[in-house]
A = this chain, B = another copy of it.
Amino acid sequence: MRMSREEKERSRTRIVDSAARLVRERGVEGTGVADVMADAGLTHGGFYRHFESKDALLGTAIDEAFAQILSRLDRGGDDQSPAVAAAEFTAHYLSDGHVRHPGKGCPVAAIGADVGRASAPLKDAFGDGVRRILDALAAGQAGTPRQRRGAAARALATMAGAVMIARACDKATAAEVMGAAREALIARPRRKQHTTS
């Protein structure tokens, strides 16, 4: 039953992808090794050929989850300006789809509270991801470097808090909080015809 090196690499990729989704859907403690392996189409016994422990897997899964959402922001390098990339990232972050599908969304909103109580390696992976988001978001802000960093940090805190609250509350409260976050962070498109009173 030994698989080739490429096939092992593909297995590992599937395991990490499954873990990156499941940890955002079910949390750090709610994600089991057997669940991840089954989701990847494997049995749990082979897990330790790929990772030293559940914690090591989750660290890699957090890296992967941040990489997934950062791919939206880092596209700004070539064909988009950083400001447009940041605006599109913000609009997507505050969309109802993001609230409804944590498994494809931002780890900060999905597992931020979990990581606050987790092991040091998970916090390190999480902190790295947060810093990368702040860097990319800051590049899309206006003002001095200090103002950009501040605006980016404020935006991430507001977005992650709003999405987290929206997922934990009834629909009406969720809509209220998401709407307030959108008003604060999304520049309203100008109306075609507008007469100042």
Please determine whether A157 and B170 come into contact, CB atoms closer than 8 angstroms: no
Task: Evaluate whether A165 and B112 lie within 8 angstroms (CB atoms) in the complex, with A154-B183, A158-B157, A179-B150 already known.
Answer: yes
Please determine whether B164 and A164 come into contact, CB atoms closer than 8 angstroms: yes
A50 CB-CB contact with B under 8 Å: no
B-chain residues with CB within 8 Å of residue A165 when the two chains form the complex: 108, 112, 130, 156-157, 160
B-chain residues with CB within 8 Å of residue A160 when the two chains form the complex: 161, 164-165
- Residues of A in contact (CB 8 Å), total 51
Give residues 114-157 of A contacting B (CB, 8 Å). 114-118, 123-124, 126-127, 130-131, 134, 149-154, 156-157
B-chain residues with CB within 8 Å of residue A102 when the two chains form the complex: 116
Stoichiometry, copies per complex: 2
Residue of B nearest to A110 (CB): B113
Please determine whether B169 and A181 come into contact, CB atoms closer than 8 angstroms: no
Give residues 26-52 of A contacting B (CB, 8 Å). 26-27, 29-30
CB < 8 Å: which of B134, B169, B183 contacts A130?
Answer: B169
Alpha-carbon gap, A131 to B177, bound state (A): 10
List A residues at the B interface (Cβ < 8 Å).
25-27, 29-30, 102, 108-118, 123-124, 126-127, 130-131, 134, 149-154, 156-162, 164-165, 167-170, 173, 176-177, 179-181, 183-184
